[in-house]
Amino acid sequence: MSELINNAFTGVNIIPTILLILVLIYWLTVILGIIDIDFFDFDIDFDIADGTDGLDGLQGILAYFNLKEIPLMIILSILSLVFWILSMLLYLLPIKAGGLINGLLLILTLIISAFITKLISLPLKGLFKNMYYKGTEDEEKVIGHLVSLCCNLEKGRLGQAEVKQDGASILINVKCEFTEDKFEKNEEAFVTKKDDEKNIYYIAKVYINK
């Protein structure tokens, strides 16, 4: 056991170890009720370059690793645990713990862990449907209504907004419809339309006549 602990904190092996410790601290705060399970999902704000090519690629990556249907911290927790276990298994190889070869294998281990995480998370996709967009049955309830921004947002960026329906909250992917619009976190916005292909809602400013 002592050798395993020493290996976990030797050289580059400290990376997966610290990552796992941070995840454990996160879950402890969730259990104690300090933060919600989807706390970090609110601040996901992906910066997209000119055009929609970057958006399409990003959407594909998110969908492939189930990040559009499962909370970020669930995926990160699985990834951290798998990454740490595989990293510790490198201890069985005849290589220097924390050395250069160990570091190179650690990168390969991270890539393998990502694909293992995808497979492990597949059965979890259905458990979190209520946290995200529920489908066409809720579409009419979203378009034409107000949502609360979960992050700062401006033209060219993809963000998330919270929709409150029947006492529950769901998250939807949103983007500014007009170039001049900029939104602050927690600001209310008006949902104007939806891009069904990308599953993105477009939002506009709420103007109040005085």
The answer to whether residue 209 is domain-embedded is no
* CATH number of the domain bearing residue 199: 2.40.50.140
Q: What is the chain's Cα-based Rg?
A: 21
- Digit-by-digit pLDDT tens for the chain (210 residues) are 677 788 778 778 889 999 999 999 998 988 887 776 666 654 444 444 444 444 455 666 777 777 767 888 888 999 999 999 998 888 777 777 667 887 889 899 999 999 999 999 888 876 765 555 455 455 557 888 889 888 888 877 888 888 876 666 778 888 888 878 889 888 999 999 888 777 788 999 887 654
Look-up: residue for tokens 């209310």? 188
d(CA 6, CA 14): 10
Both 121 and 169 in a single domain? Answer: no
Both 78 and 110 in a single domain? Answer: yes
Both 165 and 65 in a single domain? Answer: no
* Single-letter residue type at 163: V
Both 141 and 123 in a single domain? Answer: no
Domain hosting residue 63, numbered range: 2-130
**Domain total in the chain:** 2
What's the pTM?
0.56
Both 163 and 91 in a single domain? Answer: no
